[in-house]
Structure 1
Amino acid sequence: MSGTGSYIPSEVSCNSSFVQHEFLDKNGSKFEFTNDVIIEKFKDITGIAERRYAKTHLNTSDLAYFAAERAIENAGIDPETLDYIIVAHNFGDVKYGTIQSDTLPSLSVRVKHSLGIKNPKCVAYDLIFGCPGWIEGVIQAQAFIRAGIAKKCLVIGAETLSRIVDKHDRDSMIYSDGAGAAVIERTDEPGGILSHESATFAADEAYYLYYGKSYNQELDDDTRYIKMHGRKIYEFAVTQVPLAMKSCLDKSGIDIKDLKKVFIHQANEKMDEAIIKRFYRTYKMQVPEHVMPMNIHTLGNSSVATIPTLFDMVRKNLIANQSLEKGDKIMFASVGAGMNINAFVYEY
């Protein structure tokens, strides 16, 4: 990964902005607790104190383009030399104040257009794989490169989840907007992806995340919002993700003691802490200090954008007590709608 970039929206939404919301349970009833109590419990579980929202005139493809520009500049490449542009997202462009998703043309094509790339052999496509979409895009990019059909790929994760949340659902406080990108290219230097793992659990788990109607029963039944079975997702993630991470690390040949950083999808602070603890427990180890960077406290959960954004911030020393050095062995891991899980071990 020769260059990274991210776009952090400028609109900050603090937890206090939800005090006047009318939160309802799934049956449309009011909670017995005040919003202050609901928000306090929410922060204790998720760790989220703030989240970022895109300005009303910007869409997911705009955020993706901004992150892409920065990654290309950071890599110091000519965008015309890109062989692939892969954009991971889940909901396309949802214009502010509307309920319709727009994916025609694809977001990747929009990004290529905005970048001004003329080369028709630069192939642009979208990837929908839930929150693990950016990781899956990187895995695909390295497959193209190792197969000899590509030399340079741009992989972007972007989302504007604020546009598809039910404001009457407490879970709406989790979601945020953002974009992160990386240029992956063939070099003669050692390093890169050492191993990867991907899986889809769709028997009982397919609809743990889904599109559902508002908890406000007076609103239009045909309008859908992002919904989730939080407890089921938590139990699934803390059980299956550590196993996938272990399988990935074992395939890499890297000793757990040599793993310097683990970049986990910023979904929920307590869940991520449980995942990392169980992962290290499989090796009968305690979690080393500073091994798991986090930015969920101020940026919230921006789905496919969390990991590339987090990685970009650590690369550029924008998170306290977090940095990377040449040769560091690091891991990326994510879980999300599908239910999909993936990971890769990387030599920086």
Structure 2
Amino acid sequence: MTTASGASPTRPPLGITALGAYAPARVISNADFEARLETNAEWIESRTGIRERRFAAEDEFTSDVGVGAVRDLLARDPDALSEVDAVICATVSPDALMPSTAALIAMQVGLTGVAAFDLSTACSGFVYGLSVAQGLILAGTARRVLVVGAEALSKVVDQDDRNTAILFGDGAGAAVVGPVPQGYGFQQFVLGADGAGGSSLYIRCAATKLPGGFEMAPGVGMNGREVFKFAVRVLGDSGNEVLAKTGLTSRDVDWVVPHQANIRIIEAANERFGVPMSRTVVNVDRYGNTSSATVPLALREALDDGRIQEGHQLLLVAFGGGLSWAAGTMRWWAGTPSLQPRAAAAAEVPA
């Protein structure tokens, strides 16, 4: 599925007009797993690229980390939520099945009465959310949309399961989608999903088995080998597809901002669409896999340290449970206060 740019002779293009991020204060290092799991810190880093991740506090949940990202956005630009009349929260660790986490976030940041709903495509959720936000605005349903990617995965992952416990962390990113000047903003999106791969990566809820009879274990289930193969293929293919739809090649890309699942996946996928690691934003070493929050966390960090600048051509690529995938191209605009680098502690995501 491909969705086109929002630009037209009578309508300005659409893009990100504000961006914030949040990571919980509690840092969990690889060494913290050694005492109770059959693993060691060096093995985890060599296999995944992860050195540490953040865990939410005992009384801190997905809506709380999402609100943290929105408050960071507002601290950078107090007027950032002006004209926002819809909220999308991409998450697979919602506070509850209902009410939506989006509604809980909206309430706490003063957006009472706006449209609000959750989006569940796992790690590709934030890029999905940007595309859906564009569609709402183009349809005339919304003027500006707040898209939040937020997760408290430490609450749902079995911390005694070595296959998954070492991978996931908590965090959030928040972006406002709205009009930007001509020549900037979203260009193309490519979205997709294949439910036949659902047994390779899932979080069990009401059902105990998937169509076809696959029995799901409680909590998070993952077939690491199958996910790796799928991720490398689909990241490369969707990245190449969205570049072709935009009329670009890998040489035109200033920065790739990928889903931060595993450094080996990122490296292998980059080879498929031909962008070197030197032009790829990576922070999986310090935050682990925060699912729908990885892309905005990485994007915010690269803005704060000055790597991403106005006019840069970006490629966003992600994959997730579903199995799902999403890729998008955009020309970066930096014309609002929240899109400027943070002067102090430039490389540090606010906690």
Could you tell me the TM-score, scaled by structure 2's length? Answer: 0.83
**Structure 2: which 5+ runs fail to align?**
1-15, 206-215, 333-351
1:208, 1:138 → 2: CA distance? 26
How far does residue 146 in structure 1 lie from its aligned partner after superposition?
2.6
How far does residue 289 in structure 1 lie from its aligned partner after superposition?
5.2
How many corresponding residue pairs?
307
1:128-143 to 2 correspondences below 5 Å? 128-143=120-135
1:185 aligns with 2:178: yes
Identify the range of structure 1 (102-111 vs 229-238) with the bigger mean alpha-carbon deviation.
Answer: 102-111
1:261, 1:56 → 2: CA distance? 36
1:257, 1:211 → 2: CA distance? 38
How far does residue 65 in structure 1 lie from its aligned partner after superposition?
0.8
**Structure 1: which 5+ runs fail to align?**
24-34, 94-101, 214-221, 281-286
Among 271, 287, 308, which residue is 2:265 paired with?
A: 271
Partner of 1:297, secondary structure, is helix
2:245, 2:311 → 1: CA distance? 18
Among 45, 50, 54, which residue is 1:52 paired with?
A: 54
Counterpart of 2:290 in structure 1 is 302
Counterpart of 2:225 in structure 1 is 231
* Matched AA of 1:136: Y
1:43, 1:187 → 2: CA distance? 40
How far does residue 188 in structure 1 lie from its aligned partner after superposition?
3.7
How far does residue 224 in structure 1 lie from its aligned partner after superposition?
2.0
Counterpart of 1:21 in structure 2 is 36
How far does residue 225 in structure 1 lie from its aligned partner after superposition?
1.6
Q: Is the 2:267–2:277 Cα contact (8 Å) retained in structure 1? A: no
* Matched AA of 1:314: A
Q: Is the 2:73–2:80 Cα contact (8 Å) retained in structure 1? A: no
Among 38, 42, 67, which residue is 1:40 paired with?
A: 42
1:5, 1:83 → 2: CA distance? 18
Among 317, 324, 328, which residue is 2:308 paired with?
A: 324
Q: Is the 1:3–1:73 Cα contact (8 Å) retained in structure 2? A: no
Among 319, 323, 327, which residue is 1:339 paired with?
A: 323
Counterpart of 2:280 in structure 1 is 292
1:212-227 to 2 correspondences below 5 Å? 224-227=218-221
Counterpart of 2:234 in structure 1 is 240
Change (3 A) 1:235 1:255: closer
1:168, 1:69 → 2: CA distance? 33
1:193, 1:223 → 2: CA distance? 39
Counterpart of 2:20 in structure 1 is 5
2:250, 2:122 → 1: CA distance? 28
How far does residue 307 in structure 1 lie from its aligned partner after superposition?
0.6
* Matched AA of 1:160: A
How far does residue 270 in structure 1 lie from its aligned partner after superposition?
0.6
Counterpart of 1:198 in structure 2 is 191
Change (3 A) 1:212 1:46: same
1:124 aligns with 2:116: yes
How far does residue 212 in structure 1 lie from its aligned partner after superposition?
6.3
1:211, 1:125 → 2: CA distance? 20
Q: Is the 2:250–2:273 Cα contact (8 Å) retained in structure 1? A: no
2:33, 2:281 → 1: CA distance? 27
Residue deviations 1:9-30, cap 9 Å, x none? 110111111111144xxxxxxx
* Matched AA of 2:139: A
1:314, 1:108 → 2: CA distance? 26
Q: Is the 1:145–1:186 Cα contact (8 Å) retained in structure 2? A: no
How far does residue 211 in structure 1 lie from its aligned partner after superposition?
3.6
Identify the range of structure 1 (259-268 vs 164-173) with the bigger mean alpha-carbon deviation.
Answer: 164-173
Q: Is the 2:20–2:70 Cα contact (8 Å) retained in structure 1? A: yes
| Percent identity (aligned) | 30
Counterpart of 2:108 in structure 1 is 114
How far does residue 73 in structure 1 lie from its aligned partner after superposition?
4.3
Residue deviations 1:54-109, cap 9 Å, x none? 1111111011011012224435426352121100100212xxxxxxxx23321111
Q: Is the 1:331–1:344 Cα contact (8 Å) retained in structure 2? A: yes
How far does residue 164 in structure 1 lie from its aligned partner after superposition?
1.3
Partner of 1:290, secondary structure, is helix
1:315 aligns with 2:303: yes
Partner of 2:137, secondary structure, is helix
Q: Is the 1:332–1:343 Cα contact (8 Å) retained in structure 2? A: yes
